[in-house]
Structure 1
Amino acid sequence: MAKKLFKRLMPDPYKIRNHKSLQFLGTLLHDPNLFHLNRSSVSRAFFVGIFVCFLPLPGQMAIAAFGALWLRANLPISAALVWVSNPVTMPPMFYACYQLGLWVLGAPSRPFEFELSLDWIIAELGALVPPLLVGSLMSAAFFGCLSFLVVNQLWRWHVARSWQRRIALRLEKLKQLK
């Protein structure tokens, strides 16, 4: 099961709580849900991680970590999931978000001509940022909620299937005893 794999890969909570650079958080890291692998903390971690990976901001891991603290989600999973948006996947993700933002705002698509200069960046930033932010926030909300629901339902399905297997094994043992 994936739970055993996650447990093996997750860092030691004691080391994280006592890390020198995280001492400013005080007792926030002592919440047990931040490191437990249960349905609610993992599904919230997927929401946080996937939501943050769609935001075109630097420091996504830190943002996801604070989101996990705020929502009491699994901290390592939240921080790791932001790597869905990595240097390979970022261009297509953010281009799709930009196109979604253009469609939602009803703005016309503009031809893209790149020039490496500060004047070009300042001139184009005003036209690029609003559609990108709108599309990114909509995608973040949609895919974050979708991942929350999918993980939640998969977890329930797996638990129900495990219980059915246990019952079937017990019935089989009872039949063998008779």
Structure 2
Amino acid sequence: MPRKLLRRYLPTRESLDRNALLRRCSPYLSHPNLWHLNRHSVAGGLAVGLFCGLIPGPLQILAATPLAILFRVNLPVAVFGTFFSNPFTIVPIYVAAFGLGRLLTGVSSGPGTLPPLPETDWAHLGDTLSAWIAWGLSMGAPLAIGLVAMAALLAVAGYFLVQWGWRLHVLYALRIRRLRRAA
């Protein structure tokens, strides 16, 4: 069961209390749903993580943490759910979000076309980073609308896939248990 696998890697309440930085946040981290592995908490945590995973820059985990606390969903799953967007996947995700944004805004050509990808110069990483940021900003409203729409779609899809997958796993385990008892 995924619960056994996840429980092995989750921090315990005692390990959080031993951490000086996290001890200050203890009142916010004390709700049981932030740490319990049940169908609703894990599904909500994944939805929060998938939604926050499309936030530009390194703010994904910083946004997923307060949202998980606010919605009282599994915090580690919310944090790990943001890792689907990383330096290797962010460009294809942004191109897809740009296409979705163009579709939603009705922009078919002209200023809404995808600007050319910048050159990557490994000798001058600062200039390369600036060029990639300028590339992202040049996509404007279609990218922003596409990111919000894609984040919402991913969150809803992730929530229901976990709900259904968990339910199917439980039904399968019950069926196996019944077959073993009958045998």
Structure-1-length-normalised TM-score: 0.84
Partner of 2:153: 142
Query: Comparing 69-78 with 161-170, which one deviates more in the overlay?
Result: 161-170
Cα deviation, residue 132, structure 1: 1.5
The CA distance in 1 between the partners of 2:29 and 2:149, in whole Å, is 30
Q: Deviations over 1:24-56 (max 9, x none)?
A: 434111111111111010000110111111222
The CA distance in 2 between the partners of 1:134 and 1:146, in whole Å, is 18
Q: What one-letter code is carried by the residue in structure 1 that aligns with 2:99?
A: Q
SS at match of 2:25: helix
Partner of 2:74: 74
Partner of 1:165: 176
Which of 109, 112, 116 is 1:112 aligned to?
116
Q: Considering only CA atoms, is the larger Rg found in Structure 1 or Structure 2?
A: 1
Cα deviation, residue 81, structure 1: 1.3
Give the conservation status (yes or no) of the 8 Å contact 2:114–2:139. no
Equivalenced residue count is 171
The CA distance in 2 between the partners of 1:113 and 1:147, in whole Å, is 30
The CA distance in 2 between the partners of 1:152 and 1:11, in whole Å, is 24
Task: Point out where structure 1 has 5 or more consecutive residues left out of the alignment.
Answer: 173-178
Q: What one-letter code is carried by the residue in structure 2 that aligns with 1:73?
A: V
Cα deviation, residue 23, structure 1: 3.9
**For the structure 1 residues 85 and 168, does the alpha-carbon distance in structure 2 shift closer, same or farther, using more than 3 Å as the test?**
same
The CA distance in 2 between the partners of 1:5 and 1:110, in whole Å, is 42
Query: Comparing 156-165 with 18-27, which one deviates more in the overlay?
Result: 18-27
SS at match of 2:113: coil
**For the structure 1 residues 171 and 134, does the alpha-carbon distance in structure 2 shift closer, same or farther, using more than 3 Å as the test?**
same
SS at match of 2:58: coil
Structure 2 residue 97 is matched with structure 1 residue 97: yes
Partner of 1:54: 54
Query: Comparing 109-118 with 78-87, which one deviates more in the overlay?
Result: 109-118
**For the structure 1 residues 43 and 167, does the alpha-carbon distance in structure 2 shift closer, same or farther, using more than 3 Å as the test?**
same
Cα deviation, residue 165, structure 1: 1.8
Q: Deviations over 1:123-154 (max 9, x none)?
A: 983x4232211101100110110010010011
**For the structure 1 residues 42 and 20, does the alpha-carbon distance in structure 2 shift closer, same or farther, using more than 3 Å as the test?**
same
Q: Deviations over 1:103-128 (max 9, x none)?
A: 2112331543648597xx77983x42
Higher helix share: 1
SS at match of 1:87: coil
Query: Comparing 57-66 with 140-149, which one deviates more in the overlay?
Result: 57-66
Please report the RMSD computed on the Cα atoms of aligned residues, expressed in angstroms. Answer: 2.6
Partner of 2:123: none
